[in-house]
Amino acid sequence: MTAHELDARPGELVTPTGVLVLPSDVPRPRWLAARRSGIGGSDALAVAGLDPWTTRLEVYLTKTGSKVERPQTDDMVWGQIVEPAIAEYFTHQTGIEAVRCGLMRHTDRDWQLASVDRLTGDGGLLEIKNTNHWRRGEWEDGQIADGAEAQTQHYLDVTGLSHAWVAAQVGGAPPLIRRVERDEALIADLRAMEEEFWELVRARTPPPLEGGKAAEDLVCRMFPRAKTGLKVEVGEQGLRLLRDYNDAHLDEVAAKARKQRAKTDFTHLMGEAQIATYRGQEVATWDNASKTSYKQKVLEERYPDAAAAARQTNHHRKFLNKLPKELITDGA
């Protein structure tokens, strides 16, 4: 090992079961292209259902060549910038050398990839995380976030190494350092899910779309703009989905009304009191608050240049349920 970069060439065995595919300094487009040939650590999280931002379908689409653009956020850019500093902090705290390696694949399972952040001088690997303070609870009392645990076990499976280190900067505080031992049971479970998923990729059989925010975001990125005038016949499946949507909307409206009624009755019960208690224990507050806003019309009339400079337009698609009354029920 050199001071910062592993001295190896593509095709060489660099860990017990890890073969170097690409060094860490290759152009990003080439690295992304190589990643499409298998399942990497971040892919493994989505395959296992542990990635709140990525669905299994999105992983499938990227592996089969579909271009699903994912805009790079400021958090992603910042994570790349601070990664070397976190690695330096790890070495400073532990005395263990950590070097960049690149993209590896398993010697026998060429579809199983690992792009570890660093290899460590004690025969392990280092995974670097940068997350916000809202997720600090996942790291307290010596814990390791589930996603980080699964990702490091995937890397240990690919590389054949015995242990990993995780250095996690949480909310800008000095990184927390955790050691992760190889867990054969978890590795076996993850590998089974990955193998099953990779068979879907090989067979060109897309997995179903999961629910949640990640799925909604994926669909919006897949179809960002409507083609004016284009129609599609949705059939019985579409009718069932619109009925489900309509039923859920009615439930939501009713729940919102119940919520508002309970709030109104409760605040009437409180009157001028700031704090409500039950048997001496605080259960609610109704405090004084204020909110500052700007009148758009006044701003545009008096300061048109400032208003124009601050104005921005965000394009999106607006969904409207126009299901006719006669089709709402199953008896239609």
DSSP for 109-156, written as a single string? -TTBEE--SEEETTS-EEEEEEE-GGGGGGTGGG---HHHHHHHHHHH
CA distances from 138 to 69, 96, 143, 156, 280 (A): 30, 25, 6, 21, 32
Tokens of 248: 């859920």
pLDDT given for residue 1 in this prediction: 41
CATH topology of domain 18-221: Lambda Exonuclease; Chain A (3.90.320)
pLDDT given for residue 331 in this prediction: 53
199: three-class secondary structure by DSSP: helix
Residue type, 280: G
pLDDT given for residue 108 in this prediction: 96
* Domain spans in the chain, listed from the N-terminal domain onward: 18-221, 235-327
Q: Which residues pair with 56 in a beta bridge?
A: none
Spatial distance between the Cα atoms of 270 and 265, rounded to a whole number of angstroms: 9
Taking a C-beta distance cutoff of 8 angstroms, is the pair 136, 63 a contact? Answer: no
Which residues, 6+ apart, have CB-to-CB distance to 210 below 8 Å? 49, 55, 56, 57
Residue found by looking up tokens 């190896």 in the block = 8
Torsion angle, CA of 194/198/199/202, rounded to 10 degrees?
Answer: 180
- Per-residue confidence of the chain (332 residues) as pLDDT tens digits? 444 777 788 889 999 999 999 998 888 888 888 999 999 999 999 999 888 889 999 999 999 988 776 777 777 787 788 899 999 999 999 999 999 989 999 999 999 999 999 999 999 999 999 887 777 878 887 888 888 999 999 999 999 999 999 999 888 888 899 999 999 999 999 999 999 999 999 999 999 988 888 899 899 888 888 999 999 999 999 999 999 999 999 999 999 999 999 999 999 999 999 999 999 999 999 999 998 988 889 989 998 999 889 888 888 888 889 889 888 886 54
Spatial distance between the Cα atoms of 230 and 50, rounded to a whole number of angstroms: 37
pLDDT given for residue 172 in this prediction: 80
CB atoms within 10 A of CB 245: 13
Q: Which residues pair with 166 in a beta bridge?
A: 127, 178
- For residue 319, give the nearest of 207, 208, 238 by alpha carbon: 238
CA angle 162, 165, 169 (to 5 degrees): 165
CA distances from 101 to 52, 113, 126, 143 (A): 27, 13, 11, 27
Tokens of 244: 């489900």
Spatial distance between the Cα atoms of 265 and 247, rounded to a whole number of angstroms: 27
